[in-house]
Structure 1
Amino acid sequence: MKRLLPLLLLLPLGMAPTGAQTILPESARQLTLRINGQTVAADTISSRFFLGEDRALRLNIVRADDPDGEGLTIIIDRFPIQAGSYSFQEILSGRNRDASYRFGKISAYSKSCGQNTGNVTITGVNTARHWLMGTYSCQVCEAGRGGRRFTLEGTFRYPVEKE
């Protein structure tokens, strides 16, 4: 009987649904940030996603080690509030889709790079709870000759506020 007791204690654990640990509450804030492949902690309290009256979506992702800083800002205008991939384009297209990054003395912009590459992919929209889920990736460059290039990328499941 002593050998069966540990097995009997494990039985109730085996009955629990296996996916229960991975299900998150609807209000959960998930935000990741990698800079040139290195993981950097994001501040989920200071970071904000805004949707303006003009349907411009602004993602502001703040680093945990600089909660009062600007961090990464991505702007996508004419956002239709639906899943899809939103690539950056030059301003001549009539769309303003770009990114900027500020940390300490570093100021870098997607338009300073040779190509304005970047995208935001929305994989989920919950209009009832006002959150978006997806990924982002962009390249920003410091202005001037010999400026550094940064690749910023990550994932999110984040509430959207009205601006």
Structure 2
Amino acid sequence: MNRSLLLLLLPLLGLAPKPGRLTPDSARLLTLRINGQSVQTDTISSRFYLGADRALRLNIVRADDPDGEGLTIIIDRFPIQAGTYSFQEILSGRNRDASYRYGSTAAYSKSCPDNPGSVTITGVNAARHWLMGTYRCQVCESGRGGKRLTLEGTFRYPVEKE
């Protein structure tokens, strides 16, 4: 009887679990900042794919352009483990690249003379098929005199087979 009364009072006291709150085991947390400014992401259209050839592709889509391409980061031969995967290693034979499209803006990491960027995986949940970590890259608009954009954010996101 006392236990039932306590369960009925929890919502009134504000101690009941809140719907929609992320738990440590849930996924679909995704942030994006462009040149330091927060941009809302579309967690329904955004996707993380792992191909049969172990290529990891992060596709982060803006909420104000759910049909657009947004930011795509590719890491070839991803070993599915925690670590930092840097774009400077493109010359080592692994393809690590980033591209960004929004409206008429098209920018690529390979368009920059210096293309620093990395994806840091801080957690892998193999049972639930999600990764946790951060990303940061610089991309340059195509064409002469293009702007340099710094895109960065955090994620805890499910990975789908491609």
TM-score range, shorter chain: 0.7 to 0.9
Q: Contact 1:57–1:76 at 8 Å: present in 2 too? A: yes
Structure 2 unaligned blocks of 5 or more: 1-8, 16-20
1:62 Cα deviation after fit: 0.1
Q: Distance in 2 between matches of 1:52 and 1:99?
A: 17
Q: Secondary structure of 2:110's partner?
A: helix
Q: Distance in 2 between matches of 1:103 and 1:52?
A: 25
Q: Which string of whole-angstrom CA distances, capped at 9 and with x for unpartnered residues, describes residues 94-153 of structure 1? A: 110010000000000001011121000000000000000000000000122210110000
TM-score (norm 1): 0.85
Q: Distance in 1 between matches of 2:51 and 2:66?
A: 23
For 1:121, the equivalent position in structure 2 comes to 120
Q: Which string of whole-angstrom CA distances, capped at 9 and with x for unpartnered residues, describes residues 33-63 of structure 1? A: 0000000000000000000000000000000
- Higher Cα radius of gyration: 1
Q: Contact 2:27–2:130 at 8 Å: present in 1 too? A: no
% identical equivalent positions: 82
Q: Distance in 1 between matches of 2:48 and 2:22?
A: 22
For 1:58, the equivalent position in structure 2 comes to 57
AA paired with 1:122? I
Q: Contact 1:89–1:95 at 8 Å: present in 2 too? A: no
After superposing the two structures, state which structure 1 stretch, 45-54 or 87-96, moved more: 87-96
Trace 1:34-45 onto structure 2 (pairs within 5 A): 34-45=33-44
AA paired with 2:93? G
Structure 1 unaligned blocks of 5 or more: 1-8, 17-21
Q: Distance in 2 between matches of 1:26 and 1:64?
A: 24
Q: Which string of whole-angstrom CA distances, capped at 9 and with x for unpartnered residues, describes residues 8-45 of structure 1? A: x99x969x6xxxxx761623310000000000000000
Q: Secondary structure of 1:89's partner?
A: helix
Q: Does 1:107 align with 2:106?
A: yes
Q: Distance in 2 between matches of 1:153 and 1:91?
A: 19
TM-score (norm 2): 0.85
Q: Distance in 2 between matches of 1:141 and 1:154?
A: 18
AA paired with 1:58? R
Q: Distance in 2 between matches of 1:141 and 1:95?
A: 21
Q: Pick closer, same or farther for the CA change 1:140–1:108 going to 2, 3 Å.
A: same
Q: Distance in 2 between matches of 1:55 and 1:141?
A: 27
Trace 1:5-44 onto structure 2 (pairs within 5 A): 24=23, 26-44=25-43
